[in-house]
Chains A and B, each alone.
Chain A
Amino acid sequence: MTTTISREQWGSRFGYLMAVVGAMVGAGNIWRMPYVTGENGGGAFLIAYFLLLYLIAVPGLMGETSLGRYTRQGLIGTFRKLYGNNRLVGLGLVILIFNIVLMSYYSSIVGWSIYYAFHAVIGTFTQADFDTAALWQAFSGNTALNVGMHSVAMLLVTGILLFGIKGGIERLAKWMMPILTIALIAIAIRGVTLPGAMAGLEFSFSPNWAYLARGETWLAALGQALFSTGLGWGIALTYGSYLGRNDDIPLGGGVFTAIGNTSFGLLAIFAVFPIVFAFDISPSSGAELAFVALANAFGSMTGGYLWALLFFMGFFFANLTTAIAITEVGVTTYREERNTNRTKAVLTICGIIWLLGIPSAMNANILGYLDFVIGNWGLPLSTFIIMITIGWKFDAQRLRVVSLNRGADIYVPRVWELVVRYQIPAIMLGIMAYFLYTNLGQTPWKTVSGLAILTLMIPLCMWVMGRRHDMPYTATSKGGPSS
Chain B
Amino acid sequence: MSLSAIIVMIVSIIALWGVASYALIVSMRQEERKLALLQSQDDFEPYSPRAFRDLEQWLAQHSDSEHAPEVREWQQAQRQSLQRNPQRFYEWSHADDDARGAS
Q: With A201-B5, A407-B34, A481-B74 in contact, do A263 and B46 touch (Cβ < 8 Å)? A: no
Chain B residues with Cβ under 8 A from A406's Cβ?
46-47, 51, 74
How far does the alpha carbon of A74 sit from the alpha carbon of B79 in the complex, in Å? 31
Q: With A198-B1, A260-B20 in contact, do A266 and B12 touch (Cβ < 8 Å)? A: yes
Decide: B71 and A207 in contact? CB cutoff 8 A: no
How far does the alpha carbon of A50 sit from the alpha carbon of B19 in the complex, in Å? 12
Q: With A246-B46, A406-B47, A407-B46 in contact, do A42 and B27 touch (Cβ < 8 Å)? A: no
Decide: A266 and B13 in contact? CB cutoff 8 A: yes
Chain A residues with Cβ under 8 A from B55's Cβ?
401-402
> How many of chain B's residues have a CB under 8 angstroms from any CB in A?
36
Whether A382 sits at the interface, judged by CB under 8 Å, is no
Whether A347 sits at the interface, judged by CB under 8 Å, is no
Of A42, A207, A259, A481, the most chain B CB neighbours within 10 A belong to A259
Please give me the residue from chain A that is nearest to B49 by CB atom: A411
Chain A residues with Cβ under 8 A from B17's Cβ?
263, 266-267
Chain B residues with Cβ under 8 A from A248's Cβ?
27, 30-31
Q: With A405-B48, A411-B48 in contact, do A207 and B8 touch (Cβ < 8 Å)? A: yes
Chain B residues with Cβ under 8 A from A202's Cβ?
1-2, 5
How far does the alpha carbon of A423 sit from the alpha carbon of B30 in the complex, in Å? 31
Q: With A252-B23, A255-B23, A263-B20 in contact, do A14 and B28 touch (Cβ < 8 Å)? A: yes
Whether B92 sits at the interface, judged by CB under 8 Å, is no
Whether A205 sits at the interface, judged by CB under 8 Å, is yes
Decide: A256 and B46 in contact? CB cutoff 8 A: no
Decide: B5 and A13 in contact? CB cutoff 8 A: no
Decide: B5 and A409 in contact? CB cutoff 8 A: no
Decide: B46 and A251 in contact? CB cutoff 8 A: no
Whether A398 sits at the interface, judged by CB under 8 Å, is yes
Of B1, B27, B30, the most chain A CB neighbours within 10 A belong to B27
How far does the alpha carbon of A262 sit from the alpha carbon of B9 in the complex, in Å? 14
Whether A432 sits at the interface, judged by CB under 8 Å, is no
Decide: B19 and A259 in contact? CB cutoff 8 A: yes
Q: With A198-B1, A201-B1, A397-B58 in contact, do A263 and B16 touch (Cβ < 8 Å)? A: yes
Chain A residues with Cβ under 8 A from B13's Cβ?
266
Whether B36 sits at the interface, judged by CB under 8 Å, is no
Whether A295 sits at the interface, judged by CB under 8 Å, is no
Whether A150 sits at the interface, judged by CB under 8 Å, is no
Chain A residues with Cβ under 8 A from B47's Cβ?
405-406
Decide: A262 and B16 in contact? CB cutoff 8 A: yes
How far does the alpha carbon of A14 sit from the alpha carbon of B27 in the complex, in Å? 9
Give min CB distance, A294 to chain B, whole Å: 21
How far does the alpha carbon of A46 sit from the alpha carbon of B51 in the complex, in Å? 33
Q: Which of A206, A252, A267 contacts B5 (CB 8 A)?
A: A206
Q: Which of B2, B12, B27, B54 contacts A400 (CB 8 A)?
A: B54
Q: Mark A256-270, 1 if CB is under 8 A from B, else 0.
A: 100110110011000
Q: Which of A267-290 contact B (CB under 8 A)?
A: 267
How far does the alpha carbon of A266 sit from the alpha carbon of B28 in the complex, in Å? 23
Chain B residues with Cβ under 8 A from A252's Cβ?
23, 27
Chain B residues with Cβ under 8 A from A13's Cβ?
27-28, 31
Decide: B51 and A260 in contact? CB cutoff 8 A: no
Please give me the residue from chain B that is nearest to A404 by CB atom: B51
Whether A160 sits at the interface, judged by CB under 8 Å, is no
Whether A408 sits at the interface, judged by CB under 8 Å, is yes
Decide: A46 and B28 in contact? CB cutoff 8 A: no
How far does the alpha carbon of A205 sit from the alpha carbon of B9 in the complex, in Å? 6
Q: Which of B1-42 contact A (CB under 8 A)?
A: 1-2, 4-6, 8-9, 12-13, 15-17, 19-20, 23-24, 26-28, 30-31, 34
22 sample A-B contacts, Cβ–Cβ < 8 Å, listed by A number: A13-B27, A17-B27, A201-B5, A201-B9, A202-B2, A205-B1, A206-B1, A256-B20, A256-B23, A259-B15, A259-B19, A260-B23, A260-B24, A263-B16, A401-B55, A401-B71, A402-B55, A402-B71, A405-B54, A408-B51, A411-B51, A482-B70
Tell me the A residues contacting B by CB distance below 8 Å.
13-14, 17, 42-43, 46, 50, 198, 201-202, 205-207, 245-248, 251-252, 255-256, 259-260, 262-263, 266-267, 397-398, 400-402, 405-409, 411, 480-482
The 4 closest A-B pairs by CB, nearest first: A43-B8, A405-B51, A13-B31, A206-B5
